[in-house]
Structure 1
């Protein structure tokens, strides 16, 4: 456990001045701020539930369908790019820390950055929505409680992204250049969006479809007016978690075998 903590801390110090680290903070801030400005200019009074769905939906549609998978591709590569550029993989695995600690710390640090990014999205969506209601009192955002649904949706997005993260993390370990994992990830993301948008019945088996399925899986609660269910634990989430665990474990053995050559 000590080796894992040391490795995790090392990943933070190595990446804290990189674009990959700051994207986790700046991306939510930029997107939510732009949508706040657009909503302030163009949004008209309506039912509070409709206002929240318009505002939060604008952010979720931008983030969940295409941007989240591409962000994961970038984060997975950026965490490993320092070792690729400096050619320090053998040095890293020769340290008096277990290879499992080094490998898992890198993976969980990537997961941590994705979690921070989505957490900021959820906090800013909720905060900016209430700020919009304060700036334009005719938009009665405070009259509808959306916080529970909002945080469940972003948690669902996070869980749905773990399968993609495991695959892209492994690809970025195996390939030192950015174009190969980026190209594979981009093609798979487009295929996943098409599969989810066309309601292909087996789209839930393809991890790159999961973020979009996570958003479209929100449905009204039965028997409760103006309430929605995030459907947090559905089949695409379970598939995402299974893929994440299997690829994560398989990736360790692949990397360990390569590191001793």
Structure 2
């Protein structure tokens, strides 16, 4: 699996992955900084906790859009190069190949989340000082939505790999990312069952954040196992 992951990672040199990650981190940081500046009084009165509320408005959407773009890019790379037949003609396990791509995308998202964590630390420090940072809150606000997004990753990657029309995959991801943020704020409980809502619901500023983070992880594992089994039986033309 390690060699397979390394091989998949080397393919990224041909892709604008660094650009996607940096654009996401810098764009989100600018938005949070501007919003925090406009609501400076609330930021000061809350000792910076208001910054986390602002972050929760945008970070889940950034995560979901990142999942959509990365899934389409990685699958599209194999489609464009027509390497599926070559890969599957070897002794490489299809299940391991499927998992390696999922792990690679989730790893990229982890790096992006880590960079955002650093940026939020800097923003919080600038507005109210580092001594006022609530580290547990900051950690959970970044990584609970990250954990909760695994369910969407398993679904989005499944759509990308089984429907080679990447426009369709991107459209589903875009609709899910936008609607997920709104549905998460609905007072109707049944609106919260869509996995696209989990990253927004996994904020420590709301009740049951841990529940949604764990739910996203579980759905992600189950969905990836299901997708890998189907992929292992799929004939690639």
TM over 0.5: yes
Indicate the RMSD between aligned Cα atoms, in angstroms. Answer: 2.5
Matched, 1:106 2:101: yes
Q: Aligned equivalents of 1:255 and 1:196: distance in 2?
A: 31
One of 135, 142, 145 as aligned partner of 1:157: 145
Shift in Å at residue 128 of structure 1? 2.8
Gaps in structure 1 of 5+ consecutive residues:
134-139, 220-229
Task: Label 1:13 to 1:157 Cα distance change in 2 as closer, same or farther (>3 A).
Answer: same
Answer with 21-30 or 171-180: which moved more: 21-30
Task: Label 1:30 to 1:193 Cα distance change in 2 as closer, same or farther (>3 A).
Answer: closer
Shift in Å at residue 173 of structure 1? 0.6
Shift in Å at residue 190 of structure 1? 4.0
Q: Aligned equivalents of 1:190 and 1:27: distance in 2?
A: 16
Shift in Å at residue 83 of structure 1? 0.3
Shift in Å at residue 150 of structure 1? 0.5
Deviations 1:169-198 (A, max 9, x none): 111111222211112223333443332222
Partner residue in 1 for 2:214: 238
Task: Label 1:51 to 1:18 Cα distance change in 2 as closer, same or farther (>3 A).
Answer: farther
- Assess if the C-alpha contact under 8 Å between 1:159 and 1:240 holds in 2: yes
Deviations 1:51-76 (A, max 9, x none): 51233332331222x33222211111
Shift in Å at residue 17 of structure 1? 4.3
- Assess if the C-alpha contact under 8 Å between 1:7 and 1:102 holds in 2: yes
Partner residue in 1 for 2:181: 193
SS of the residue aligned with 2:210?
coil
Deviations 1:92-128 (A, max 9, x none): 1222332222211111001111111111111110123
Task: Give matches, 1:46-195, under 5 Å.
Answer: 48=44, 50-64=46-60, 66-130=61-125, 132-133=126-127, 140-195=128-183
Structure having the higher Rg: 1
Scaled by the length of structure 1, the TM-score of the pair is 0.80
SS of the residue aligned with 1:259?
coil
SS of the residue aligned with 1:192?
helix
Choose between structure 1 and 2: higher helix proportion: 2
How many residue pairs match? The answer is 237
Shift in Å at residue 157 of structure 1? 0.6
- Assess if the C-alpha contact under 8 Å between 1:21 and 1:113 holds in 2: no
- Assess if the C-alpha contact under 8 Å between 1:15 and 1:21 holds in 2: no
Partner residue in 2 for 1:205: 193
Deviations 1:8-62 (A, max 9, x none): 112211113422343223311232145436645x464667562512333323312
